[in-house]
Amino acid sequence: MSNLVNTSSYDLLRSSFWGALRGICVEVIIYPLEVIKIRQQCSHQPVICFQIARKIFKQEGVGAFYKGLTPQLIKTSLKQMWCWPMITAVPGYLHTYGLGEIQQQILTGLSIATVDAVITTPLERAKILSALMGRASISLSNIYKEGWQGFSTYWAKRSVNMVTFLTAQQYFRDHERSPSGQISLAALIKTGILVAIILSCVSAPLDLVNTLKQSRNLSLSYIFNRHGGIKLYRGWPINSFSLSIHNVASVILIEKLMIKDIGDAAAPFPGS
């Protein structure tokens, strides 16, 4: 079932607002997991998440779990200017050219990832450096002056993430939709978790490569020689858990934004 949406200014602003609110709320809640994951990925020795969390707490205090949150929130807020409006508007636009749903989601994901990487790569680097090096703050102006180090790896990560997320959630939402066109809240939560598992398995190596490239500017050949095989999945469990929270919120929001009838959009989910 194709999602043809009304792309009025009101709809675009509405999607940006709810996308920003979703992103900021989720980031504030789960950001400590991001710090733990980054440090685990950059650790020279195999170490479990609990050991890293305990070490951070003992040596740096609770505040260390939120180092790098500022650039992350700036990045999250900026992304709403194009991310959610594109998610809701581009598929319908591409449909007019006769493209199927999978093609629509692939092109939408690549478009979002490209805009994202062009604008926010320095913010991604600032987040990783802050979380890894324990700096309370990093000058964003200096980060932007240093250029777009790691642009290609960040673009690859975002492209795989967005394409996998959009295509998978579209498939599962269509599969869970009842004959009446509705999806229960439980089905949406299930969809978000399934998509997170798939996405984390596909994107984990790129997530690790991006972290190492942004933090140390290592060459790809060096990264794969030193972190090949199972090592490329370092940080996968915590990444999968974080993505589950993100994706459940995102899938629910997409379903609400994609409902054509505004009256339906204001109604509660069936069974909620």
By percentage, how much of the chain surpasses pLDDT 70? 88
Find tokens 């703050």 and name the residue.
137
Residues 6+ apart with CB under 8 A from 88: 5, 7, 11, 12, 15, 254, 257, 258
- Mean pLDDT of the 57-74 span: 91
Question: What are the distances in angstroms from CA 134 to CA 31, 129, 199, 209, 234?
Answer: 14, 8, 29, 20, 20
Q: Look at the chain and count its residues.
A: 272
What are 20's two structure tokens? 């920003």
Residue 143 has pLDDT above 90, yes or no: no
Secondary structure letter of residue 138 according to DSSP: -
Of the pLDDT bands very low, low, confident and very high (cuts 50, 70, 90), residue 181 is confident
Pairwise pLDDT comparison (260 vs 166), residue with the higher score:
166
Find tokens 């629910």 and name the residue.
252
Find tokens 């636009």 and name the residue.
93
Question: What are the distances in angstroms from CA 144 to CA 24, 122, 177, 208?
Answer: 22, 6, 45, 22
Give the model's pLDDT for residue 11: 67
Secondary structure letter of residue 269 according to DSSP: P
What are 245's two structure tokens? 């929270």
Contact 121, 154 (CB under 8 A): yes
Of the pLDDT bands very low, low, confident and very high (cuts 50, 70, 90), residue 267 is very low
Residue 75 φ/ψ, nearest 5 degrees: -60, -45
- Mean pLDDT of the 134-159 span: 80
Give the model's pLDDT for residue 268: 37
Ordered by start, the domain boundaries in the chain are 9-266
* Superfamily the domain 9-266 falls into: Mitochondrial carrier domain (1.50.40.10)
Give the model's pLDDT for residue 10: 66
Per-position DSSP letters for 28-79, written without gaps between them: HHHHHHHHHHHHHHH-SS---HHHHHHHHHHHH-GGGGGTTHHHHHHHHHHH
C-alpha 90/C-alpha 167 separation (Å) is 14
Tens digits of residue pLDDT in 13-31: 777 777 778 888 888 899 9
Pairwise pLDDT comparison (272 vs 258), residue with the higher score:
258
Give the model's pLDDT for residue 122: 93
Residue 265 has pLDDT above 60, yes or no: no
Residue 186 has pLDDT above 90, yes or no: yes
- Mean pLDDT of the 197-204 span: 94
Tens digits of residue pLDDT in 216-255: 888 888 888 877 777 889 889 999 999 999 899 888 888 8
Give the model's pLDDT for residue 269: 34
